[in-house]
């Protein structure tokens, strides 16, 4: 039986895994092939399924006989039960409020359709004027961005040449690089697309003698003016963070990061891409999990 990792671990937690499945999981946990994020998330999913009645009879039995054997899991169950109950109440209240509002607004709309028509006409005129103003502002901004981009491309070429020289003289050098430098192309590389999101780690093979490793992001299209890339260890420790404006992306919307291979010891990592949100803070755009194997 070839089950997905999630199904295998569910059976393990419920105490219904067979001998072979148990051995495989014990090995994976002891060798660190599976990270705590995946294990805890699978436990949370089990708790949700139990509370939402999405379990088979065999699973329900395993859940109460085996899974709930520790106090910590029982506390997590109580928390999840509270959260689900609270969320349902909130949704029910929101539904009832929006229903009442909809009723009221329908009555008002029927009673004052003439006033509504007048308001709509005024709004459309105002919208037209505002749109015209925004269009003019956008044209100006596009021109400034183009000029900035040209200047940055020139500076980037200079920076890349400097970085290459620094790497030869002083060892590790890092930063966003563009272009097709030979040294960068020879490094072990892992590539993600902005749409890549996986909870199951992709394997990144890094030769033992490698001095640098490369992580490439390929964005489908620029979505924000500014991005942030964050490398986290399996335990959530932040190992690397880098912010950059969209204008420094290569024409193919590719971002390349070069890291000293020494920080990538065997284990699981998260590579997260954040983009600047409308409120000015960062919000998560993508999150990829990968496992480093040194060979």
Among 159, 160, 193, 199, binds another protein (CB under 8 A): 199
Tell me which stretch binds another protein (CB under 8 A): 7-15, 100-108, 132-140, 248-256. Answer: 7-15
Both tokens of 80, joined, read 């999840």
**Residue 27 engages another protein in binding (rule: CB under 8 A):** yes
Q: Which of 178, 181, 147 is nearest to 167 (CA)?
A: 181
Give whichever of 159 and 193 is closer to another protein, judged by the CB atom.
193
Q: Is 29 in the site for another protein (CB under 8 A)?
A: yes
Q: Does 40 engage in binding with another protein (CB under 8 A)?
A: yes
Does residue 36 belong to the site contacting another protein (CB under 8 A)?
A: yes
Indicate the DSSP class of residue 55: -
For 43, 108, 185, the CA distances from 120, given in Å and listed in that order, are: 52, 15, 59
Pair of tokens at residue 98: 């929006």
CB of 223 to another protein, least distance (A): 10
Per-residue x/- marks for another protein, 210-249, CB under 8 A?
----------------------------------------
CB nearer to another protein: pick between 52 and 119: 52
- Residue list 86-125, contact with another protein (CB under 8 A): 86-88, 90-91
CB of 58 to another protein, least distance (A): 14
Q: Is 21 in the site for another protein (CB under 8 A)?
A: no
Give the x-and-dash track for 60-79 against another protein (CB under 8 A). Answer: x---xxxxxxxx-xx-xxxx
Nearer to another protein, 67 or 212 (CB): 67
Give whichever of 145 and 199 is closer to another protein, judged by the CB atom: 199
Residue 81 binds another protein (CB under 8 A): yes
Does 287 help bind another protein (rule: CB under 8 A)?
yes
Kindly tell me which of 83 and 133 has the beta carbon lying closer to another protein.
83
Query: Where on the chain is the footprint of another protein (CB under 8 A)?
Result: 12-13, 15, 26-27, 29-32, 36-37, 39-41, 44-45, 48-54, 60, 64-71, 73-74, 76-79, 81-88, 90-91, 195, 197-199, 284, 286-287
């Amino acid at each position: 039986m070839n089950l997905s990792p999630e199904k295998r671990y569910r059976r393990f937690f419920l105490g219904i895994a067979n001998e072979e499945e148990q051995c495989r999981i014990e090995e994976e946990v002891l060798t660190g092939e599976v990270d705590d994020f995946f294990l805890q998330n699978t436990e949370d999913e089990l708790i949700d399924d139990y509370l939402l009645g999405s379990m088979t009879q065999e699973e329900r039995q395993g859940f109460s006989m085996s899974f709930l054997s520790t106090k910590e899991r029982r506390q997590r169950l109580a928390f999840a039960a509270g959260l689900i109950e609270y969320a349902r109440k909130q949704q029910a209240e929101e539904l009832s409020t929006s229903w009442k509002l909809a009723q009221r607004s329908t009555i008002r709309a029927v009673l004052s359709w003439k006033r509504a028509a007048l308001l709509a006409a005024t709004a459309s005129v105002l919208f037209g004027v505002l749109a015209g103003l925004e269009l003019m502002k956008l044209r100006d901004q596009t021109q400034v961005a183009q000029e900035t981009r040209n200047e940055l491309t020139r500076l980037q070429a200079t920076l890349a040449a400097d970085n290459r020289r620094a790497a030869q003289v002083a060892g590790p050098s890092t930063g966003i690089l563009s272009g097709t430098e030979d040294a960068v192309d020879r490094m072990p590389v892992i590539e993600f697309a902005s749409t890549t999101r996986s909870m199951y780690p992709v394997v990144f093979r890094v030769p033992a003698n490698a001095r640098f490793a490369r992580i490439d992001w390929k964005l489908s299209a620029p979505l924000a003016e500014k991005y942030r890339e964050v490398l986290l260890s399996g335990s959530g420790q932040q190992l690397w963070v880098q912010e950059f404006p969209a204008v420094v992306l290569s024409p193919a919307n590719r971002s390349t990061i070069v890291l000293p291979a020494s920080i990538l010891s065997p284990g699981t990592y998260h590579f997260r891409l954040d983009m600047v949100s409308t409120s000015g803070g960062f919000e998560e755009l993508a999150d990829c999990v990968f496992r480093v194997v040194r060979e």
